[in-house]
A and B are shown apart, each in its own frame.
Chain A
């Protein structure tokens, strides 16, 4: 693959010139955070970008002697290149047998099909006993096996695996890792996209690290596993230099070096009351358990978030971070346990009631009105603070007009606070990704919250944008006196910003404490890199099983 570029709509490059080579029969790992472009890379290779409204804008994909860039997915499968999608995506209403048949539809040769089938049952004997069972009734691990088996039905020479360990218990991950090795020994080359760096680096020959659509690091897997940079990226250890810029007040760094950094507005600098200063209370979750069907997403998790603190919730993919945030904002009602904010019990309150209590959030994937201006999006955030009804607004009564003017002023102040004051009248979809993340932050602030919950605020940002965002959040918190709750993968960001960190893994809280303690915690090292204590007894709950 040479200089591959891809884009969705006009959102800028999701892949900006990626070079990647997979030798015959090798295992190549692609690592990177959420939003780094891993999925886009796989979609580009498997020809499914157009289904997501994206396209390849440059570069080439050579497979054997063919250029596959822009070929249709069926041709690519026939050429011997098959992808196992993230999250397994088995056909839940189809039986195991039908799932396997669906994987073999591109193959015409009956004998080859039968052979592939026998091979799949050899690799996954569990599946053989369950051919008539619906895919959706399998356990997480079995579903992953079925997804891999389904892909193997077309006898690929190159298998693309997207996050095969996602949400699975350590023992199952181990097993999947062994099976991948087994498949590879048969001569199938493998591209393994993973956030579980430990697993990926163990079985891969070579590895690439992807960051904001570009390869930032590559080499032999064994070398990368030992490298400072990888440890830093996944745990924030040794990231002192980066942390320094992230928390820097701006006088040490050249402001021009941080283009997205907020500019202080006149109103703020002159000390005029910008937005109401928050009076946060303690947010306490006790013994939270959340089950989805048979899957335990959170198991007896307690969180104590002190007023005015910055509290980070971290953990590998599938650890239950987003579920935790969704419980705190009332999107999910926990199966057991309670959430209290001050003296108010949040359990069972509808999301808009929780917003009224003073808790506001942003989303992992942008949830903005793309065709509206920044100002309009921010006015939505003011909704709970407005009183004009449909009629007064529709008839343009004076009270409504006066209120709108006041709201516009408030929105302008918030925009100034996060460095968006010059973009107020710009349509959201024309803004770069980093700025849109800021719009989300600003919209949450517009509700004048006491507690701000941020779901992956720097996902998909490069180190510089992430540092600027870190600075903005620190300033906002200092100016408004908020409690900030963060869910984030970027460890440098978390370590620099958080006062306290709770670590989740497989739905359980495995550590809790100040950053310096947490990043040395053996259980945390184990969860992220798996390297610290290889002999840890495997007593983790089987969240995915």
Chain B
């Protein structure tokens, strides 16, 4: 029972991290219609920069600068590359982001090499005991920070002019343009925000119990893509729910790996995708996704 509680809490925490990544993914998709497979590399840029800088600057300034660098990188991708081909087919755009991802990931992995860069988070490997339940401090911090960011984001999305512009542009870009909303600016803003969210998620993702940023970080962050897909790709609430589902599933399958040995090793890497397939079988547009209706 204790084990189950521990796993649930740490799954929820991991889930909120996935949710941050998935929200960035969804944000870009809603604002520009691009399924951004380079999101993992953008996360890696931010997390890598933060890990490199934390020794000199301290943890929080490093995270802030890392987030700014990732936001800038994502914005540049949008302005220099994606904007020029905005009217292309969605599939073409997705394949383009795959290419960008390969280029970015290759360079980052070359820089990281075989080293493991610690995130330098102040909570290190401390744990908190509540009764018999043991939780790493890092997980608690991740959960709290993620929940605060998601809530702030939700409020901004709902009540600010920026939020209204963003939602209007996502709902119907052509009409939003007619109202004088600058679609290019909304798009660049979405990419930048996605980059910043990914960095914050990336920093927690590479904090304890994970050893740090290594050359596989971008790849494991990709599990946020099934989270976004489960949620429906165009729903921020869906990204949150999808993230938590994936976090729980990944943690349970890793925690109970001993009991699930008959399914083979490395189950927790595969499980998110399995869940995604099962959800899509029954809900092709995801849990919260908009049903596409075509009029002839």
Contact = CB atoms under 8 A, between A and B. Distances in A.
Interface of A: 46-48, 51-53, 72-74, 76-78, 82-83, 85, 89, 91-94, 98-99, 101-103, 105-106, 150-151, 154, 322, 326, 331, 363, 367
Contacts of B172: 89, 91
B168 A82 contact: no
B174 interface: yes
Contact of A151 (B164, B165, B174, B179): B179
B1 interface: no
B167 A82 contact: no
B181 A93 contact: no
A92 B161 CA distance: 17
B174 A77 contact: no
Contacts of A106: 179-181
Given A102-B164, A102-B168, 15 more contacts: A48-B174, A52-B174, A73-B177, A73-B180, A74-B181, A82-B180, A85-B178, A102-B165, A102-B181, A103-B179, A105-B165, A105-B180, A106-B179, A106-B181, A154-B180
Nearest to B185: A74
A93 B182 CA distance: 20
A59 to B, nearest CB: 21
Nearest to A151: B179
Contacts of B165: 102, 105
Contacts of B161: 101, 105
A165 B136 CA distance: 63
A101 B164 CA distance: 7
A93 B163 CA distance: 13
A105 B296 contact: no
A82 B175 CA distance: 11
Contacts of B175: 85, 89, 91
A74 B180 CA distance: 4
Interface residues of B, number: 20
Given A48-B174, A51-B174, A105-B161, A94 B180 contact: no
B173 interface: yes
Contact of A105 (B87, B164, B173, B174): B164
A98 B180 contact: no
A154 B179 contact: yes
B171 A94 contact: yes
Which of A91, A93, A150: most chain B Cβ within 10 A?
A91
Which of A92, A101, A363: most chain B Cβ within 10 A?
A101
Given A73-B180, A85-B178, A105-B181, A51 B173 contact: yes
18 contacts: A47-B177, A51-B174, A77-B178, A77-B179, A83-B178, A89-B172, A89-B174, A91-B172, A93-B171, A94-B164, A101-B161, A102-B165, A102-B168, A105-B164, A105-B179, A151-B178, A322-B296, A363-B296
A366 B80 CA distance: 34
Q: Which 7 A-B pairs have the closest CB atoms?
A: A106-B180, A77-B180, A102-B168, A89-B175, A73-B177, A91-B171, A74-B180
Given A91-B172, A101-B164, A48 B177 contact: yes
B94 to A, nearest CB: 19
B62 to A, nearest CB: 35
Contact of B179 (A52, A93, A102, A322): A102
A326 B183 CA distance: 35
A151 B174 CA distance: 14
A508 to B, nearest CB: 21
A40 B246 CA distance: 47
Contacts of B181: 74, 102, 105-106
B279 interface: no
A94 B170 CA distance: 11
Contacts of A76: 180
A60 to B, nearest CB: 21
Contacts of B179: 77, 82, 102-103, 105-106, 150-151, 154
Nearest to A329: B296
Which of B87, B167, B296: most chain A Cβ within 10 A?
B296
Contacts of A89: 172, 174-175
Nearest to A46: B178
A353 to B, nearest CB: 17
Contacts of B104: none
B108 interface: no
B65 interface: no
B77 interface: no
A326 B296 CA distance: 8
Contacts of A103: 179
Contacts of B87: 51, 53
A167 B182 CA distance: 30
A98 B178 contact: no
A53 B85 CA distance: 11
B145 interface: no
Nearest to B293: A292
Nearest to B184: A72
B124 to A, nearest CB: 44
Given A102-B165, A326-B296, A82 B178 contact: yes
Contacts of A154: 179-180
Interface in B165-205: 165, 167-168, 171-183
Contacts of A105: 161, 164-165, 168, 179-181
Nearest to A92: B171
Which of B174, B177, B178: most chain A Cβ within 10 A?
B178
Contacts of A85: 174-175, 178
A99 B179 CA distance: 10
Contacts of B168: 91, 94, 98-99, 102, 105
